[in-house]
Chains A and B, each alone.
Chain A
Amino acid sequence: MKHVRSIDELGVDGIVRVLKVAEHMAEVNRRPVPKVPALVGKTVVSLFFEDSTRTRISFETAARRLSADTMTFSVSTSSVNKGESLRDTVETVSAMGVAAFVVRHKSSGVPWQMENWTDASIVNAGDGWHQHPTQALLDCHSITGAFGIEPAPQCLRGLAITIVGDVRHSRVARSDIEAFTALGATVRLVGPRTLMPPDASPWGVEITDDLDSVIGDSDVLYMLRMQRERMNEALVPHLGEYSTRFGLDAVRAARMKDGAVVMHPGPMNRGVEMMIDPSELPRSLVTNQVASGVSVRMAVLFDVLGGQEVAS
């Protein structure tokens, strides 16, 4: 696969392929020296137009463990502040000889527009509200790991996954919904209608604003980050009401079914959507998600940069 930009483009076969390779990468990461020469001589540039230290260092760690050279282009210190256009930035960096861009941008669609201006592979590290495919892949990896599932098409069949919160503005939710349903899970969305997309019908998922009605039969409870600026847009009355209706507290946690897991893409808003410390939960995957992130991103970089040579 030349690019990894959306779950839809990756397809179910691509998801399974990446998850399988990620298993090998996890094994590499358990070695005393977690490094392999797979991408020696290849340059991976993180092009972050929006700050995200955790995603960036996760990708850069992944690239280095595969022995790629890494460069970081962050907007706060770059010519973008002098008015350089997206196209000129991409063309300029591309001319330095880049094998792959890892791009984060606040505008949906930028990884697709970039294709016109570079021959390098493009890995989407988050575009607007649209997609964050490596997050979905690492979430799938965490789930298969937690439930002891072999990656395969339909491998999440029978699992009920409940995603709670601001789906409307969430690239994590869009990617997760597509990935989880592609692997056969039953996905439900919980939140007020103001935080749901205008028309979610193509996903074919159930939507409710009653968390308590679904918490007891969910295998995975996926809490989204609630951004404080949503108050100003009259999407919810105030954070307290949001927490009361959609936050995870000890009472709700106690009603979760045995073996069910809690996930969160981070960073958490403690006291808003997370009213309980994850360490107090019976099964939290929050730190597993971070660990999965490195393995999955190694698998993705290997897929876009190493795959051709393996094939030939």
Chain B
Amino acid sequence: MSLLIRGGRIIDSTSTDDQGRTADVLIDGDRIVQVVETGREVRADEVLDATGCVVSPGFVDLHVHLREPGREESETIETGSRAAARGGFTAVVAMPNTEPPHDSRVVVDFVRDQGRRAGLCEVVPAGCITVGRAGQMLAPFAELCEAGVRFFTDDGNGVQDAQLMRRALEYAGQLGLTLAQHCEVSSLTHGAVMHEGACCSRLGLPGWPSLAEELMVHRDIELCRLTGSPVHFLHLSTARSVDMVRAAKAEGLPITAEAAPHHFTLTDEALSGFDPAFKVNPPLRTPADIAALKSGLADGTIDAIATDHAPHAPHLKEQPLDQAPPGMLGLETALALALTELAMPLRDVVAALSWKPAAIAHLADRHGRPVAAGEPANLTVFDPTATWTIDRGQLASRSRNTPYHGRTVRGRVQHTVFGGRAVVVDGTATR
């Protein structure tokens, strides 16, 4: 089975500008076999039109919640994979806060296998740092490493105990693993619903102070310095966090970081109408924080755009704001929000969506690769100029909790090729 992507311009890690090079990409099986000048006669079983589009390595999302096992009313690995494919992602890192969580080989094998069965993208389970994400005992790192897990986090919870985090970094670092932290000192955020500031004061909602994130960012930078083990910061949301990461990177510490589209597009004022669609953890913050995140992305302090895709069934999000679970959909809107809101070169946006997160997740052997003969055929074809209006009724996710319903954005995924197969054609999933 051969597949030809015709007429697009290629932007990958070898690109030096935003123009890319116009070429046709011929795929056979799960590999790229030829990249040839557009217009040359090439025979293929299936042809994808990429005229006016960018052809890039497939996107990698470091941060998704697929809810299976345990919360299938909100999302399944299949529906989440379909949302990922429609968003241009060929690999997603599935967060471990499932029921049961990813703290044993049997669960991570199940998650990966369900991803294979869906066949829409690679589902990469992240392991827990602590058993049950309870912050008490170390998860079996070596057992999970043996099962192929390289990226660990208790996401949803920060590891509160500094000694335990130190031990985790010492132990996991030796195995060559990366630990990712959800930075939140929980004693400062008890009952918090939104960013602590003028807006929460007015709305009478308990606040989540920026300090709760920044204290843990600071602590883990120092633990990284002490242990030498890599630390990845999940969903950074504050200006001071960006500053600390910038300084730590300048020192050469093995630190990486991600930011979520909602944190660089929405502020705490969005909660003024008390719509739980805007409740997320860490919370939406201020215009100054948005500016800092954007500059952090632009200068590479923040390596990756990661969605923190967090589906919740309508009956859960319809609860009173203080009881509704935090989180919002992200997979199907990430590219468009990045292209609409970030004043960054196209190549840098693609880098933050593709090869940089691929490297952080230990996936650089098969995702984020150059678009060249012999490479795995995991590719995204997107139109960077197409405008469209986000409609929660049109999303592939099983849930509807996007905060962007009705927003007009620029940039649309046309086709996604995963493992040599067109899993999305003209914006529609083929399976």
CA–CA, A4 and B322, complex, Å: 22
In the complex, per-residue mask of B309-340: 1 if CB is within 8 Å of any chain A CB, else 0: 00000010011111100000000000000000
Does any Cβ of A come within 8 Å of B162's Cβ? no
Closest Cβ of chain A to B317, distance in Å, is 10
Contact in complex: B204, A171 (CB < 8 Å) = yes
Query: Can you report 5 A-B residue pairs in the complex whose CB atoms are below 8 A from each other?
Result: A109-B205, A198-B196, A198-B207, A199-B197, A201-B198
Q: Which residues between 12 and 30 of chain B lie within 8 Å of chain A, taking CB atoms?
A: none
Chain B window 273-287, contacts with chain A (Cβ cutoff 8 Å), 1 for yes, 0 for no: 111100000000000
A residues less than 8 Å from B204 (CB atoms): 108, 127-131, 171, 174
- Chain B's interface size range is 20 to 34
Q: Count the A-B residue pairs with Cβ separation under 8 angstroms: how many?
A: 69
Residues of A within 8 A of B196 (CB): 198-199
Chain A CB within 8 A of B385 CB = no
* Top 7 closest pairs, chain A to chain B, by CB: A109-B274, A129-B204, A107-B320, A130-B204, A197-B201, A112-B274, A199-B198
Nearest residue (CB) in B for A110 is B320
B202 within 8 A of A: yes
Q: Nearest-CB distance from A104 to chain B (Å)?
A: 12
Partner of A198, one of B200, B273, B319, B320: B200
Having A198-B196, A200-B198, one finds 13 other A-B pairs with CB under 8 Å, namely A85-B319, A86-B319, A107-B323, A108-B204, A108-B205, A109-B203, A109-B205, A109-B274, A110-B320, A128-B204, A130-B205, A199-B196, A200-B201
Task: Establish whether residues A113 and B318, one from each chain, have CB atoms under 8 Å apart when the complex forms.
Answer: yes
Is the CB–CB distance between B319 and A128 below 8 Å? no
Q: A202 → chain B, closest Cβ, in Å?
A: 5
Report Cα–Cα, A244/B166, bound state, in Å. 46
B209 at the interface (CB under 8 A from A): yes
CA distance A128 to B204 in the complex (A): 7
* B273 A112 Cβ-Cβ under 8 A: yes
A109's nearest neighbour on chain B, judged by CB, is B274
Would you call B321 and A107 a contact (CB within 8 A)? Answer: yes
- Cβ of A199: which chain B residues have Cβ within 8 Å of it? 196-198, 201
Q: Are A108 and B321 in contact (CB under 8 A)?
A: yes
B274 touches A113 (CB 8 A): yes
User: Which residues of A from 161 to 198 have beta carbons under 8 Å from B?
Assistant: 171, 174, 197-198
Which one, B198, B207, B209, B322, contacts A108 given CB within 8 A?
Answer: B322
B205 → chain A, closest Cβ, in Å? Answer: 5
Main secondary structure of the interface of B (DSSP, over half): loop
Verify if A87 is at the interface (C-beta below 8 Å from B).
yes
Cβ of A105 within 8 Å of any chain B Cβ, yes or no, is yes
Please indicate the chain B residues that have their CB under 8 angstroms from the CB of A201 in the complex: 198
* Residue pair B205, A85 in contact (C-beta under 8 Å): no
User: Is the pair B202, A113 in contact by a Cβ cutoff of 8 Å?
Assistant: no
Q: Which residues does chain B contribute within 8 Å of A128, judged by CB atoms?
A: 204-205, 322
| Interface members, chain B 188-233 (any A CB < 8 Å) | 193, 196-198, 200-205, 207, 209
A198 x B201 contact (CB < 8 A): yes
8 Å CB contact of B203 from A87, A130, A200, A203: A130
CB distance from A50 to the nearest CB of B (A): 11
Binary CB contact string for chain B from 257 to 280 against chain A (1 if under 8 A, 0 otherwise): 000000000000000011110000
- In the bound assembly, the distance between CA atoms of A127 and B202 in angstroms comes to 13
What is the chain A residue whose CB lies nearest that of B197?
A199
| Known interface pairs A85-B315, A112-B273; A202-B202 also in contact (CB < 8 Å) | yes
**Given known A-B contacts A199-B197, A199-B198, A86 and B207 have beta carbons under 8 A apart:** no
Interface readout for A53-95 with B: 1 if CB under 8 Å, 0 if not?
0000000000000000000000000000000011100000000
Most central of B198, B202, B205, B273 by chain A CB within 10 Å: B202
How many angstroms between the C-alpha atoms of A74 and B318 in the bound complex? Answer: 20
A105 touches B320 (CB 8 A): yes
B55 to chain A, nearest CB (A): 42
In the bound complex, do residue B320 and residue A113 qualify as a contact, i.e. CB atoms below 8 Å apart? yes
CB distance from B410 to the nearest CB of A (A): 30
Closest to A199 in B: B198
Instruction: Assess whether B197 is in contact with A108, with CB atoms less than 8 Å apart.
Output: no
A197 to B197, CA, bound (A): 9
Q: In the assembled complex, which residues on chain A have CB atoms less than 8 Å from the CB atom of B207?
A: 198
A108 touches B203 (CB 8 A): yes
Q: Contact check: which of A109, A174, A202, A203 meets B320 at CB < 8 Å? A: A109
> CB-defined interface of A31-45 with B at 8 Å, one 1/0 digit per residue?
000000000000000
